[in-house]
Amino acid sequence: MKHLISLSVFLIVGIFAIWSITSNYDNADRMQQPAGTDYAQIFMNKFEMTAMGLNGKPNYTVNGEYLQRANDSDDTNIKQPLFHLYQENKHWKISAESAIINDKKETIQLKDNVYMQQKNIEPAITIRTQYLMIHTNTQIARTKSAVIITYGGSRITSDGMVLNNKTSKLELSSNVNGHYLPHD
């Protein structure tokens, strides 16, 4: 009889153990990420990347000190970015304190101490401003902030501009002032 009670207790404990291991827990019992919490989906230190165009050639390259994209955002934040914007024979080197790239909107927002320098020409054209929005698919850069444009000994200031890199058309918005020295 003692043997039968021991066997019964052992079977009951065994069944309970199997049931507890294989039971289906409710979703409330599971550990979950708290709602509304964002986290870095991707981040890199000292990086370099290239964005290719539909023609298979680079549209732009960017390197920087730090890149981060949050899980709930379309924006990629970059510290100390250095862009090389390519369009056939027109090449701009652009630096800033920070940038935000949005792939869905195909835009790059550059902030604080934005410096653009056109490559492949002598003397180089430089543009300085505090904010610049670049539409990567149309290659149009615009700002409403104050800009300083230099070309050799020429210097022009304006409150805002629109630069079309495809057509090389530069439109100054308002309060234009400066001096222009023709070049050979």
For residue 154, the cross-strand partners are 151
Exposure on the CB side of residue 104, measured as CA atoms within 13 A: 4
Residue 3's pLDDT is what?
64
The pLDDT value recorded for residue 65 is 93
pLDDT band at 119 (very low <50, low <70, confident <90, very high): confident
Of 42, 48, 73, 76, the C-alpha closest to 63 is 48
Tens-digit pLDDT profile for residues 58-115 = 888 889 999 888 877 788 899 999 999 877 777 889 999 999 999 889 899 999 999 9
Query: Which domains are present in the chain?
Result: 40-179 (2.60.450.10)
- Using DSSP's 3-state secondary structure scheme, residue 27 falls into helix
- Centroid of chain to Cα 140: 17
